[in-house]
Amino acid sequence: MDGSQHAEFAFQCEYALTLMSVDKSLITNLIEGEETKVKKLAAKFEDLVKKYKIEGKIVRVNGEPGHGIIKVAEDEKAAMIVTGTRGMGTIRRKLLGSVSEYVIHHSPVPVLVCRQE
């Protein structure tokens, strides 16, 4: 989770999946920046895990978000990855790529991309 409204929307989608008998939630916290920001974001998502009574944990990974998400999914034997999308423009996405696009193409498990209008 990167703290954006898109990441929070993806979390809400994940919560909706838990209501449909998804038995385990894994929230991957991929944050670069100041330690204070990292701790604040981790606390926010820990609160959401408790609020929605999801069995899960916060995992912090440094580096490229796409690679980190795939590695954690493999290490934790995730059944599914749920991610948000920021809706980058066509040119920017072609030049930079996107995390959700990377995850879709490299994931060993199903991926649900939640897009908020």
Instruction: Give me the domains of the chain, ranges plus CATH numbers.
Output: 5-114 (3.40.50.620)
Tokens standing for residue 5: 């409204």
pTM of the model: 0.64
Contacts of 79 (CB under 8 A, 6+ apart): 22, 23, 24, 109, 110
Per-residue pLDDT of the chain (117 residues; tens, 9 = 90+): 567 777 777 777 777 666 554 444 555 545 455 677 778 888 888 898 889 888 777 888 888 889 999 999 999 999 899 888 776 666 665 555 688 889 999 999 999 988 777
